[in-house]
Structure 1
Amino acid sequence: MKRKFLVLALALSTGFSFWNAPVFAQKKSAKATKTANDVIPVDPDVKIGKLSNGLTYYIRKNTEPKNRAVLYLAIKAGSLMETDAQQGLAHFTEHMSFNGTKDFPKNELINYLQKAGVKFGADLNAYTAFDQTVYQLPIPTDSVELFKNGFKILANWAGMVSMEGSEIDAERGVIIEEDRQRGKNAQSRMQKQLLPVVLHNSRYAERIPIGKIDILQNFKHEEIRNFYKDWYRPNLQAVIAVGDFDPAAVEKMIKDNFSGLKNPAKPKPRIEYTLPDNKEPLVKEVVDKEFPFHVVMASFRHHTTTTTTNEDIRRNLVEGMVSSMMKTRIYELKQSGQAPFLEGMFSYGAYQGGIVRNQDALSVAAVSKTPGELEKAFRGIMAEVERMAKFGFTANELNVIKKNLDAGNEKGFREKDKTSSDAYVQSYLNNFLTGTAIPSATYSYQLMKKLIQDISLEEVNNAAKQMAKQENVLVIVQAPEKSKDELPTAATLLNVLKTAGEGVKPYEDKTINKPLLAKKPTPGKVVKEEQVESIGLTKLTLSNGVTVYLKPTDFKNDQIIFNSFAPGGTSLIDDKDLLARSYTGNIPSNGIGEFDNTQLGKLLAGNTASVSSYIGNLYQGFSGSTSPQDLETALQLVYARATEPRKDEKIFKKDMEDFKVQLAASGVSPASVYQDTIQSVWSSYSERERKPTEKEVDDISLDQSFEFYKDRFSDASGQTFVFVGNFDVEKIKPLLEMYLGGLPSTNRHENYIDRNIMPLQGKVERIVKKGIEDKAQVQLIFHGTYENTPENNVQIGALSDILEFKVLERLREKESGVYSPNVGASYSKLPHPYYSLTISFSCATANVDKLINAALDEVEKIKKNGATEEDVEKFKAESRRSLEVSLRQNGFWLNYLVSKFRDHDDPTSVLTTEKRLATVTTGSIKKAADFFLSGKNFFKAVLVPEKIEK
């Protein structure tokens, strides 16, 4: 019942955008001339300096979140700087920074930070790209010693990594496993074939950051030491510090820690690489036996320059307008049921996510059901590009996007004093790496407001024509291997590019000019009001039986978020009717009343309100977000989704076609087959949880699903709403009475039905043999019933985190057999209390048994000995630090309160978290391990290849 029949996202996610480099997409034409008085001024609130050794630093005081800072070390060096013998060593160097430095030998760095509440992976992390390596360290500032040591850590990374030979050798296996975990699938195999074309045989194609396996396994230690000496030098480095601190003190810390770093006597030149142009179109076809879809993609690559002027931002804004309007057109075409493709995509922005400097591209993609329909799908998506280029956009389309941009600009400015430190750090990082401008919030707001007003339809349409210019053309086809002989030829695809615009007509704008609600509902009344003062909560009971909880906050200036639930959901559908009504959860995607989703978007242009309805297994309800000034619209949307759902035959037909394609594809992917097997065991092969066959899809009924949806929302008396954000309780009461109090109510007093869907009990093992790569996946799941209480839940959470410390140390550090093993606990109270604790990892096929035994050995050790005092200290520190931040977030409070009220638990239990943390001891972990890891119910699921291809 959780299935969605909407888009073939997987097909487009396997396209030719390989990396998401953090580079702003604010570019302009390379031919434009920049003038001094047009240059964007630097935000005066950021201090930018440079040490005598060339190291750059950025410092900004920011109190969101309080008592926290984000520290970055950025290096203008990555895989492009490697020699032939060093391929992969830029990334390897990043790993070695966590394996021992001058002041933090071996694993002391990670242990030190974990004890301070900084979580490895989630907080402490790094990445390596083609021309940059970046280390990130979010750190508390309420401990003077810890905060000072944060800069010592960055300085150790910058110039004091130990590079011990034994540590280098131990890390080889970890990096090889990283390559295995992230790749070794159809997408990675196809990407390897595409790289020489996508990156046009440039330096980029020869220097993929992960490197070459044979080099990683065999390089001499001096190669990585030489890379570190050559490229980790202060004149290529920047320290970025944003947070709740004294900027003058931070500047002194940077000078004290980094001034002693020295550049090499003869520094290697840092060469700027780019992609050559291709005068003739490049066409590449790639097939794979595990790739399930038929996809064609095209890109037109254009030269750009970095954003430094107002004119740059203007051009970027226009290009963004074009992209948004085209995406809306394509979505509208799909929703109409007339699209010649199953899925279509349009975008304009940095080529390959920005990995190559100063290159933008118009990119389109289309997915077809069969290989024979691929040409038609490609022609259909290209026809929309040609329609745009020939006829441009309508005044109404531009008006809609302007309203939305203006609303976003206003919203962003209202939150200027609530901007997170992470956002500032990313902006300064881009400035250091690419020279992208960093204007103040006020400057950006005023400039955007002016530009949005000034940009004309003629300017937008001229830009659209330029964006569609077919320069540096690249066309790619990806398909299943079995379809190879039926795919369109290169000549056919290139002919589509030339002829797709023949006969196209201007776009017809279909806008319905009617109010969202024909008439306002009859309001209800607040019949009871209660307070939970300890957590700042107000409870309202409305006359129609709706319950509303309100928690005003000052965490955001311009945000209200809400959620609701009422018992029932799809559990009320009898087994015999389940298939026919399984489209129920997709009814909201059809629109509201007379408005399909495209028309609804036009109606709500400039409004920040967003509301969706849902029907889950046990509950149905609403979720939404809005600015305070648009709260009434959000509540109108709640009322409309409950009382005026839309039934659209065209959308239903398209969704069913998509679903059939997805079902067929799911049997091709090893990961999908593996997850289906796990789900079957986890539901004891319940008929209610299985996927339908392609033939059974024809038995899904729009009418029955629509009627069941209406029935679920015909009685609001069981709905409980929770609102969190910036509002005044007294001021919003009339709106709540009008729209929530006006919801229909029949007082049916319903509850969900427990269908008793449980995992298979006892010891269960499933070995799935699927795939051709040397890659195995393992899940070891301990599970069972238990007493769901806050006290027990903190113990299983502690056990999970501490076991992860042990599994990570054993499987990664000692065995060098995995990259990122995970241990996670989940628990629920309804419809019956149940827990699971899962150890999961990927590895080489030959190492499966050895690593499973090693993981279970750690389980036995923790059952026998409990946890160490150090492990308990780490868990408590991470929990406290995480909670400190969470308590200042609207999203945390919404999710927390909804779960408490849904489970009939005490909403004030968060106030006694410290008391429960105090009960976590070495002994309590041993006791928890004896219970939760007893193995009475144990599920081992392993995915191994059918046959490994050489």
Structure 2
Amino acid sequence: VEQYNQSLVEQLASTMLNNRLGELVNSNNPPFTYGYVYHGGTYARSKEAFQGMAMVKDGNQLNALKVLLEETERAKRFGFTQTELDRAKAQVMSNIERTYNNRDKTESDILVDEYVRNFLEQEPMPGIAWEYEDTKKFLPSVTLAQTNEVIKKLVKDDSRVVVITGPKKDNVQMPTEAMVLNTFEGVKMADLKPYEEKATIKNLVKPFKSEGTIAKTENDAKLGTTTWTLSNGAKVTFKKTDFKDDEIVFAARSLGGSSVINDADFIKTQFAFPALSEAGVNGFSKADLTNYLAGKQVNVNPSIGNVTEGVSGRTTRKDLGTAMELMYAYFTGLNYNPDAFNAYKTKQSAMMDNLLSNPQFYFSSEHAKFMNQKNPRFVGIIPTEKEWANTDYKKAYDIYKEKFSNAGNFQFYFVGNIDEATFKNEVLQYIASLPSSGKTSTFKDTGYRQITGDYSKVYKKGKDPKSMVTISYIGETPYNEKEALALEALGEVATIKVIEKLREEESGIYGGGARGGMYKVPFSNYSFSINFPCGPENADKLTKSAIAELQKLIDKGPEQKDLDKYKEGEYNDDKTNMKDNMYWINALTKNQVDGSDKYEILNYQEKVKALTVKDLHDVAKKYLTKGRIVATLMPEDGWEKAKKEDAKAETAVIKAGAAK
């Protein structure tokens, strides 16, 4: 008990320090993309340590270390505030309360992980019921003196390890050991001030009286859903479940998305849309919101996608009101803050600047450029400095405001352990009151397509002897529900054959698989691909073997045993999926977006059962006999020599070991 309670005190101290770091990350001048501290296990299983980590832009590693040390030193010298402690207690209690409330629906992998830690690390395993009761009893008794004392004990001047990583670049100087030690000494002597508590949000949304009403109610007994059409035109569909004892997931969708934006404006705004929520709402910053939501299980994310705009999120029954309040604020009160956008760019650049030096990412990026060479809207899968310079934050903000000013074009979905009476009040207050223009919109097909035909492309990047192969088939075709399922099944069956041949028989790969599908939106199309990593010396041979396996499927169709194996897996997955709130949300929104059969989720097993070997054979002959594109990642020239030298060195080590 004492050990567990001590871990709670340490958790509170780490939570408070991480909340401070979070405020810095969410500020308009972030020192790093993200950073955190914790006390716990290390790479050495028998050792624990107080650890801090930050991700930064090239050349800023020393400054990030300085910020981590300064905030830790500030807490060590001056301690925390009572408001911070109260907030941290609420966070810890909220997290364990949610786990406790869902204790009878805990996923098996979470339990298994706990058993493994108990066996390998002797971590106590009293069970969630005991942990919840002990936390509820012990947490209120924890004082500031305890948390302030624990941070002093955890942060020491000896046994320190500093690891600094970064790419080798001529224009970037890596910190030296002397520079790191000077940073430590500088922080010890620094004139730091105590942490200043920010004013807390009292009302995220000013109290108001909603005039909204429910104009129409429709029940669907098959799906177990109820749909309300509200006085402002918005629709709300909800399904009460007991899949989790304390979970409500939700989504709102309106058709249109970026597809209705003209090419020039799309290029200027596409990378700004994800940044918009960084500005906060109703005059409150993102850091203010984070503090306001501390101790609440609320996650709300607005977005503008290719064919829809909307909101998605997750909450609990107790915190549903706060989630609805925040969703209302994203519809009506998104802040405009260029400084927040610039801070977002800084953080994103720190993450993305070196991605193209990663061979696998470079491969994906360059091949995407090749495939989309006829699409003027495609400028890359991540923004470069050029794209950021061309990005128009104000235009993106205006587009968002226009789209979210018309709630009548949205349909809202809620699935979970909903109390209908409480839920109805929240809907009338925060959704029925949203502004609406009465206009309807839908998405459009821009007309741009990826290239099709027979191509073979080789991309060279990196020094390590690692390769990646992608074999793909894409094109337009009228949507056919039976063919769509057969193509998906063919992907799973092809995965079985590719794994058998390339990994089991030829020992050439250590992963990989195939995937097939057919899609309605924004235009009817199909795709099928095989992907696998391998050694560069085997890339050509294994590509031919994979194509040969596909040819067998084209010539003879799959074996019955492989189709049966696929079906068995689908039956098991479907049983699990049907008890998952998020799975139901996705199924309900899919019907709105692509007009598919809304009862598809109920009939899936029957459709899988009806699949035959002939169905898969037919789609293999129809879709895998034309337009094959083979893309291969290879190391840069000279990799063969480097591999031979590595092999010689390895042999020398083995001989030396044997002699010894």
Q: TM (normalized to structure 2)?
A: 0.92
Could you tell me how far apart the structure 2 residues matched to 1:422 and 1:693 are? 39
Report the equivalent of 1:460: 147
Is residue 632 of structure 2 the alignment partner of residue 938 of structure 1?
Answer: no
Which of residues 201, 207, 228 is equivalent to 1:540? 228
Which of residues 649, 657, 660 is equivalent to 2:338? 649
Shift of 1:368: 4.7
Report the equivalent of 2:454: 763
Report the equivalent of 1:694: 385
* Secondary structure in 2 matching 1:481: coil
Q: Is contact 2:58-2:172 (8 Å) kept?
A: no
Q: Is contact 1:796-1:825 (8 Å) kept?
A: yes
Is residue 483 of structure 2 the alignment partner of residue 792 of structure 1?
Answer: yes
Between 627-636 and 726-735, the greater mean CA deviation after superposition:
726-735
Which of residues 536, 540, 551 is equivalent to 1:849? 540
Could you tell me how far apart the structure 2 residues matched to 1:624 and 1:689 are? 29
Structure 1 counterpart of 2:635, which letter? Answer: P
Is residue 52 of structure 2 the alignment partner of residue 361 of structure 1?
Answer: no
Shift of 1:719: 0.6
Q: Is contact 2:485-2:517 (8 Å) kept?
A: no
Shift of 1:929: 0.9
Is residue 202 of structure 2 the alignment partner of residue 518 of structure 1?
Answer: no
Unaligned runs of 5+ in 1: 1-309
Q: Is contact 1:584-1:708 (8 Å) kept?
A: no
Q: Is contact 1:512-1:595 (8 Å) kept?
A: no
Q: Is contact 1:335-1:650 (8 Å) kept?
A: no
Query: Structure 1 residues 733 and 398, CA, compared in 2 at 3 Å: closer, same or farther?
Result: same
Which of residues 379, 385, 389 is equivalent to 2:72? 385
Is residue 500 of structure 2 the alignment partner of residue 809 of structure 1?
Answer: yes
Query: Structure 1 residues 789 and 703, CA, compared in 2 at 3 Å: closer, same or farther?
Result: same
Shift of 1:523: 3.6
Is residue 425 of structure 2 the alignment partner of residue 734 of structure 1?
Answer: yes
Report the equivalent of 2:264: 576
Q: Is contact 1:664-1:694 (8 Å) kept?
A: no
Could you tell me how far apart the structure 2 residues matched to 1:923 and 1:574 are? 44
- Output aligned runs, 1:708-727, within 5 Å: 708-727=399-418
Query: Structure 1 residues 331 and 685, CA, compared in 2 at 3 Å: closer, same or farther?
Result: farther
Is residue 607 of structure 2 the alignment partner of residue 919 of structure 1?
Answer: no
Could you tell me how far apart the structure 2 residues matched to 1:366 and 1:407 are? 26
Q: Is contact 1:824-1:837 (8 Å) kept?
A: yes
Could you tell me how far apart the structure 1 residues matched to 2:172 and 2:520 are? 54
Report the equivalent of 1:591: 280
Q: Is contact 1:559-1:628 (8 Å) kept?
A: yes
Report the equivalent of 2:19: 328
Could you tell me how far apart the structure 2 residues matched to 1:617 and 1:817 are? 38
Could you tell me how far apart the structure 2 residues matched to 1:499 and 1:571 are? 53
Could you tell me how far apart the structure 1 residues matched to 2:634 and 2:223 are? 50
Using the aligned pairs only, state the percent identity.
Answer: 29
Q: Is contact 2:374-2:449 (8 Å) kept?
A: no
* Secondary structure in 2 matching 1:931: helix
Report the equivalent of 1:623: 312
Could you tell me how far apart the structure 2 residues matched to 1:850 and 1:920 are? 33
* Secondary structure in 1 matching 2:161: strand
Q: Is contact 1:613-1:622 (8 Å) kept?
A: yes
* CA deviations over 1:640-696 (Å, ceiling 9, x no partner): 011010223332222223444555423322222211122223434523221354134
* CA deviations over 1:319-372 (Å, ceiling 9, x no partner): 222222222211211332344x333522223343xx53331222223455443x
Could you tell me how far apart the structure 1 residues matched to 2:65 and 2:124 are? 38
Q: Is contact 2:472-2:528 (8 Å) kept?
A: yes
Could you tell me how far apart the structure 1 residues matched to 2:500 and 2:303 are? 42
Report the equivalent of 2:32: 342
Q: Is contact 2:254-2:410 (8 Å) kept?
A: yes
* CA deviations over 1:543-596 (Å, ceiling 9, x no partner): 211111111111111111011210121223222223432312311122222221
Which of residues 342, 347, 369 is equivalent to 1:680? 369
Is residue 84 of structure 2 the alignment partner of residue 397 of structure 1?
Answer: yes
Shift of 1:764: 2.6
Could you tell me how far apart the structure 2 residues matched to 1:370 and 1:799 are? 45
Which of residues 556, 563, 570 is equivalent to 1:872? 563
Shift of 1:415: 1.8
* Secondary structure in 1 matching 2:311: strand
Aligned residues: 636
Could you tell me how far apart the structure 1 residues matched to 2:351 and 2:114 are? 39
Structure 1 counterpart of 2:510, which letter? Answer: Y
* CA deviations over 1:73-117 (Å, ceiling 9, x no partner): xxxxxxxxxxxxxxxxxxxxxxxxxxxxxxxxxxxxxxxxxxxxx
Q: TM (normalized to structure 1)?
A: 0.65
Shift of 1:944: 0.4
Shift of 1:731: 4.5
Shift of 1:493: 0.6
Report the equivalent of 1:638: 327
Q: Is contact 1:715-1:745 (8 Å) kept?
A: yes
Q: Is contact 1:322-1:464 (8 Å) kept?
A: yes
Q: Is contact 2:58-2:350 (8 Å) kept?
A: no
Report the equivalent of 1:509: 197
Query: Structure 1 residues 745 and 915, CA, compared in 2 at 3 Å: closer, same or farther?
Result: same
Report the equivalent of 2:126: 439
Query: Structure 1 residues 380 and 609, CA, compared in 2 at 3 Å: closer, same or farther?
Result: closer
* CA deviations over 1:745-783 (Å, ceiling 9, x no partner): 002211223212321021233211111111111111111
- Output aligned runs, 1:121-132, within 5 Å: none
* Secondary structure in 2 matching 1:474: coil
Shift of 1:806: 0.6
Query: Structure 1 residues 780 and 400, CA, compared in 2 at 3 Å: closer, same or farther?
Result: same
Unaligned runs of 5+ in 2: 646-660
